[in-house]
């Protein structure tokens, strides 16, 4: 019984991993356009991040997997770039 559960768990993990990899590789062809909240699963806007986010915001405009990590890094980069351009 334990071995069967382990194999089922690994198979499930493999299927989800392949699904998420396919979403990351082909963002235009996402299969998340159906369901109760279409388009809410998306890749993080940080190009160095490999995570996904499920957008729970009302307008559906979330960009980063975490505001505390990726969001902060991206905002710091944008601010540094703006200040460099102003000099």
Establish if 59 belongs to a structural domain.
yes
Establish if 19 belongs to a structural domain.
yes
- Report the alpha-carbon distance of residue 1 to residue 83 in Å, rounded: 61
Structural domain harbouring 66: 2-27+38-86
- Report the alpha-carbon distance of residue 21 to residue 33 in Å, rounded: 17
List all residues 6 or more positions away from 50 whose beta carbon is below 8 Å from its beta carbon. 24, 44
Establish if 33 belongs to a structural domain.
no
Establish if 32 belongs to a structural domain.
no
Establish if 68 belongs to a structural domain.
yes
pLDDT in tens, 60-85: 888 988 888 899 999 999 999 999 99
Q: Give how many domains the chain has, as a whole number.
A: 1
pTM: 0.52
Establish if 23 belongs to a structural domain.
yes
pLDDT in tens, 11-31: 666 667 767 776 665 555 544
Q: What is the pLDDT of residue 81?
A: 95
- Report the alpha-carbon distance of residue 72 to residue 65 in Å, rounded: 11
- Report the alpha-carbon distance of residue 52 to residue 82 in Å, rounded: 27
């Amino acid at each position: 019984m334990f071995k069967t559960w382990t194999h089922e768990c690994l198979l499930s993990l493999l299927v989800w991993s392949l699904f998420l990899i396919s979403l990351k590789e082909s963002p235009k062809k996402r299969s998340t356009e159906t369901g109760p909240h279409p388009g809410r699963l998306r890749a993080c806007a940080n190009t160095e991040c490999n995570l996904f986010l499920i957008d729970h915001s009302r307008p559906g405009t979330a960009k980063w997997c975490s505001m505390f990590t990726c969001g902060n890094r991206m905002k710091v980069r944008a601010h540094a770039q703006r200040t460099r351009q102003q000099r």
